[in-house]
Chain A
Amino acid sequence: MSNHFNIDIVNPEQSFLSKDNVFEVVIPAVEGEIGILKDHIPIISFLKPGIIRVFSESEEQSFYVEDGIVEFKDNTLSVLTSSIFDLKDADKNFVSESISSAEAELSKDNIDDQKRFLLNHKVEVLKSISIN
C-alpha cells in the first residue's frame, strides 16, 4: 500500500495546487503545527500565519499562508486560503511591505490579545522568510 494522499490548495481566484502523491504535509494550525500523514482522522482546523510544507517523494514545497481553513477527510487534505505564495518565488518587496504593515497594526493600542498574538507571529514568520 502506498502511503500517499491528495492535497488541494485553493484560493478564491483559482485552484492553487493539486497533488496526489504527497506523504506528509505540515500545516501551521492555530494551536500549533500539525503534521498530517495518510489515514489521519478527519479534522477541521484553521490556520495562523505560517508555512505549509508539502512533502512528496520527489520534492519538498513550502508556501506561506496568512490564514485559511484546512479540512482532512477521506485522505484528501483541502486547504482554503485567501493569501498564499510559494516561498521560492517570494517577492522581497511584498514581504517587507507586509512586515511593516503588520508592525504598524501592532503599534496601535486598540487591538486585542489574540490579534496581537497573530500579528506578532506573522511578523516573526515573515522575517524568517526575508532572511532566507
Chain B
Amino acid sequence: MPSLDDLRKRITSVKSTQKITKAMKMVAAAKLRKAQDNAEKGRPYSEKMNNVILNLSKSITDKENAPKLLVGTGEEKVHLCIVLTADRGLCGGFNTNIIKKAKSYFEKIISENKTLKIITVGSKGYDQLKRQYKSYIVENISFKESKNINYFDADKVGKIIIEKFEKNEFDVCAIFYNKFKNVITQIPQEQQIVPLNEDKDDKDDTSNDNDYEFEPDEDEILSNLLPKNISTQIFKAMLENSASEQGSRMTAMDNATRNAGELVDRLTIEYNRSRQAAITKELIEIISGAESL
C-alpha cells in the first residue's frame, strides 16, 4: 500500500506528463494542417508527371530500346528498397507500420535468394532496421536539418537512386512510406518506381488516339523525364509521409492525454480512500483510548 505522500507525487507527475502530451497534440494538429496543405498542393505536379509519362510510354513502339528506367534491366536480382520514415518518435505506430511492411518485403526477397539493398531516409527507420538488417543498409539519409519538406531534398535522394541505377547496382527499386488517408488512418504503402509499374494506369485508355508531336523524339524526352519522375515520386512520398506523421502523432498524443486523465482519476480516488482510511483509523484509536479510561 503506497503512502499518501507517494500517491500525491504520482498524481503530480502524471499530471505534468499529461500537460506535455496535450501540448504535443496541439503542435501536431497545427503542423498537420500545414503538412496536409502541402501534400494537396503537391499532388497536381505528380499527377501531371504521371500523365505525361503515361502518354509517352504509350507512343513508344520500340520497347526493346526503351530507356531502362522505364522497362527495367530485364532481370530482377537486386532489389533496392527505400524506406522513408520520420526523424522523430512519439507518433504512435507510424514508423513501426512502415518498418513492418518493409520487413515482410525484405523477408520475401531474402527467401527468394535475391540480393537486398536498403536505403533509409529518416533516422527512426535506420534505428529500427540496423539491428536486423545492418549488413544490407547501403545508405542512411536524414533531413533533420531542413525544417520543411522541399523538393531539393527529394531530388538528392532521386539522384542517388539514378546514380546507383546507372552503375547497375540494382534492378528493381521500391519505396515504402505511409499514405495519408485521414487523421486516424495512414496506410503503409509499397510502391515500385524502377521499372515503372504500369498496372495502375489503365484507368485512362481513351487518350490513346491522341497523337502527340514530340520535340525532340520520344526517347530523348523519356530519358530526361524518368529521372525527374523518380525525384517526384520520392517527393510525393515525403509529403504524404509528413502529413501522416503529424496525423499519427496527433492521434497518439490525444490517446495519451486521455489515458493520463484516467490514471489521474484513479489515483485521486485511491488517494482519497487511503486518506479517509487513515482518518478513520485515528478516530478509532482516539475513541477506544477514551473508552479504556
Q: Is the CB of A43 within 8 A of B151?
A: no
User: How far is B224's CA from A34's CA once the two chains are assembled, in angstroms?
Assistant: 19
For B214, the chain A residues whose CB sits under 8 A away are 43-45
Contact B45 A12 (CB under 8 A): yes
The B interface, classified by DSSP as helix, strand, loop or mixed, is helix
Would you call A43 and B154 a contact (CB within 8 A)? Answer: no
Nearest chain-A residue to B37 (Cβ)? A14
Residues of A within 8 A of B46 (CB): 12
Count A interface residues, CB 8 Å: 23
Interface of A is mostly: strand
A71: which B residues are within 8 A, CB to CB?
48, 51-52, 55
Q: How far is the CB of B179 from chain A (nearest CB, A)?
A: 18
Contact with B along A4-21 (1 / 0, CB 8 A): 000010111111000000
Q: Which residue of B lies closest to A41 (CB)?
A: B213
> Taking the complex as formed, is B75 at the interface, i.e. its CB lies under 8 A from any CB of chain A?
no
Instruction: Out of A42, A46, A80, name the residue touching B45 (CB < 8 Å).
Output: A80
Least distance between A68 CB and chain B CB atoms (Å): 9
Known: A80-B45, A80-B49. A13 touches B150 (CB 8 A): yes
Chain A residues with CB under 8 A of B232: 12
Shortest Cβ distance from residue B275 to the other chain A in the assembled complex, whole angstroms: 59
Q: How far is it, in angstroms, between the C-alpha of A43 and the C-alpha of B217 when the chains are bound?
A: 11
Interface flag for A82 (CB, 8 Å): yes
The interface residues of chain B lying within 8 Å CB-to-CB of A82 are 151, 155, 228
For A80, the chain B residues whose CB sits under 8 A away are 45, 48-49, 52
Point out the residues of chain A lying under 8 angstroms from B151, CB to CB: 11-13, 82
Question: CA A11 – CA B150 in complex, angstroms?
Answer: 11
Given contacts A44-B55, A82-B151, contact A10 B216 (CB under 8 A): no
Interchain CB contact (< 8 A) of A43 among B41, B48, B207, B215: B215
Q: In the complex, what's the smallest C-beta–C-beta distance from B261 to chain A, in angstroms?
A: 39
Which residues of A sit under 8 angstroms from B56, Cβ to Cβ?
44
Any B CB within 8 A of the CB of A37: no
Min C-beta distance of A106 to chain B, whole Å: 20
Closest 4 CB pairs of A and B: A14-B41, A12-B151, A45-B215, A43-B213
User: Could you give 28 example pairs across A and B, Cβ below 8 Å?
Assistant: A10-B48, A11-B151, A12-B45, A12-B232, A12-B235, A13-B38, A13-B41, A13-B42, A34-B215, A41-B213, A42-B210, A43-B212, A43-B213, A44-B56, A44-B215, A45-B215, A45-B221, A46-B221, A46-B225, A69-B52, A69-B221, A69-B228, A73-B207, A73-B210, A78-B48, A80-B48, A80-B52, A82-B228
